[in-house]
Amino acid sequence: MITEDNFANAVKKLRESKGKKTFDQTIDLIINLKNFDVRREAFNTFIQVPYKIKEKKIAAFLERESKVIDTIKKDDFPRYKDKKDMKKLVKKYDFFMANAKLMPAVATSFGRVLGPVGKMPSPQLGVLMSEDEEMIKTLLVKINSTVRVRVKEPSIKIGIAKESLTDDQIVKNAYTVYQKIQELLPRKIDNVRNIKIKFTMGKPTNVEM
């Protein structure tokens, strides 16, 4: 059974092995899978972690201009008819949210570019039932502390923390993500070959199983 202690030991070793870097590195969690057919077994989920990973650049498809978020109003949609302009928009932001009423129009106008890069607003995370400012703020907080897991190969690799977090915060984030993934895998722990954590620019450290 894997516990937070297993992750705590791995984080300690990771810190000890760290080379000198002048920026706040991301810490990646790697879960290598076994007995999992990526072509037949779809895996696509959002996981909220206890501690914010990074401030994402977020925009919203709304009916009216918002004071709390960059807004693309329905009237603006024709401006992005050219695929080059649409790609620039998609590249500029990490995440998009949308008013539920506009979702059909968003899918029609932007789906061909947002879909393949995994940035399409989703009922799981990103769809607003109203354009109330407080609701938008609440969703912004949630998005900034959520990771998306999409399995396209027999190895899951996701950023779960920043180096500037404390060891305990990194452990809590890593364990939360691991637990949720293991819970959702069809054969649970039997689908997990091994687990590693690493700095973006460093070598992986094993998490004992």
How many CA within 13 A on the CB side of residue 42?
2
For β-strands 192-199 and 205-207, DSSP reports them as antiparallel
One-letter amino acid of 197: I
Q: Would you call 153 exposed, middle or buried from its count of C-beta atoms within 10 A (0-12, 13-18, 19+)?
A: exposed
DSSP state of 43: -
Task: Identify the three-state secondary structure at position 77.
Answer: helix
Angstrom CA distances, 206 to 14, 52, 96, 200, stand at 9, 24, 34, 15
User: What would the CATH number be for the domain defined by 4-53+146-207?
Assistant: 3.30.190.20
- Over the stretch 134-177, which tens digit does the pLDDT of each residue have? 999 999 999 999 999 988 889 999 999 999 999 999 999 999 99
Q: What is the mean pLDDT of the chain?
A: 93
One-letter amino acid of 195: I
The reported pLDDT for the residue numbered 186 is 93
- Over the stretch 74-109, which tens digit does the pLDDT of each residue have? 999 999 988 899 999 999 999 999 999 999 999 999
CATH 3.40.50.790 applies to domain 58-144: yes
Task: Identify the three-state secondary structure at position 102.
Answer: helix
Residue 55 has pLDDT above 80, yes or no: yes
Separation between Cα atoms, residue 17 and residue 204, nearest integer Å:
10
The reported pLDDT for the residue numbered 20 is 63
| Domain ranges for the chain | 4-53+146-207, 58-144
Q: Would you call 62 exposed, middle or buried from its count of C-beta atoms within 10 A (0-12, 13-18, 19+)?
A: buried
What percent of the chain is predicted at pLDDT more than 70?
98
